Structure 1
């Protein structure tokens, strides 16, 4: 379960905004590095949420997906969304469990994917990310030799310098970044888990959210509830952010300020790590 987000509550609004950003690249990377047709692959969606990525992979032709999440609310949404895939057997299992560990036998999957998940499982004081290390070791254990572990994340540098809304209050962004491993920290985590990162890439654009460029979005609680970033904000920080947006809007400067502070089209929002299990 997330250390700071109530996903049972968030599940009610989650799909109003969120997209399976980069799912086409993920499908291609999994097929290429596994060396098998998508139809022959079994993928674990670890921290599957409402099943957006699982649905996208099945639509691209992945043979089977197993869903794992700690939130019963998110899993209920996923079951509704993927009802046909569950009936046809394309969704092999739906499992409610908190990581780590990962509750499957050794070598159960061709690929394991963690989509915007790993920053939820350690506390901000755990600078060595022990739970992430354990989770990656578990992912290695349940993946076949020659399989793939795929991770998407927002890097601390992205949070602090590339997304317009996270520059509204830098103290909040600094606190959120304590949960997010840097590239250098991920490299140490991969080494500790005995997996080899073979590709790192940024997915350009902002299509992780349908209303990414809703410049008044932070004023709306429902808009904020679809991103775990906002769950760490204090009341004082929220009031400061709301005041800043209101002042910029009153001066007719809100859109210009936001676009001047956003680099999503050139730096991307989502970073992807592709790791092989030898």
Structure 2
């Protein structure tokens, strides 16, 4: 929230207060209701994607909480570790990749002519658009792979014990992490690859997310609800949901990205209407 507010404040400063090179440029960049409507279109898509994904997630978490206090606490500690050490850094790289890809995509559309709905992209331009995602992917792997190995071998149980103050919870958390830690390598990779779609074709991003959630997460979520799970065997199913979905998403986004690139290179992709404020 702090970073978001700082970003908004700087955006307002850069578009309304900071001296501009010309009056026309200043008028064109002042935030307006029309500009908000333009940004709202892709925002609705990401809102729908997030709502569907989190609805399934909360459904699963409800079942996790019912497994008992030790299991539920272990899940909370596991989330603290994966969010703080894996997901937040990966999402920071994701935000950076989105910004650079979005600018590269916008420059290409301007160069090709925004009225062209089926432009053919050269390999040089394609490389320029996807390069930020590949750079973020490499950085994520350099950081996350050694971290995952270290936690799996040495650090997870002591860290979980420090966070929870319980040897039982620490043991359960270590088992959770060591079971699906490798899946978060796929998460780091797929998150960066997904920025290519999110920054260029938000609808495609929604479609690949629905593919993962409807055809993988939803069936397993139903299985977890109808099965008579207990704390001893629940993680067998939950690991297939949470870890398996990360692996499934990696292959889904790789296939969709490849289709995205092929259609652009062949000039067969019909782009959205360009909206200007």
Does the alignment reach a TM-score above 0.5? Answer: no
| TM-score for both structures, normalised by structure 1 | 0.24
- The structure carrying a bigger helix percent of its residues is 2
Q: Which has the higher contact order (CA 8 A, sep 6+)?
A: 2
Larger radius of gyration: 2
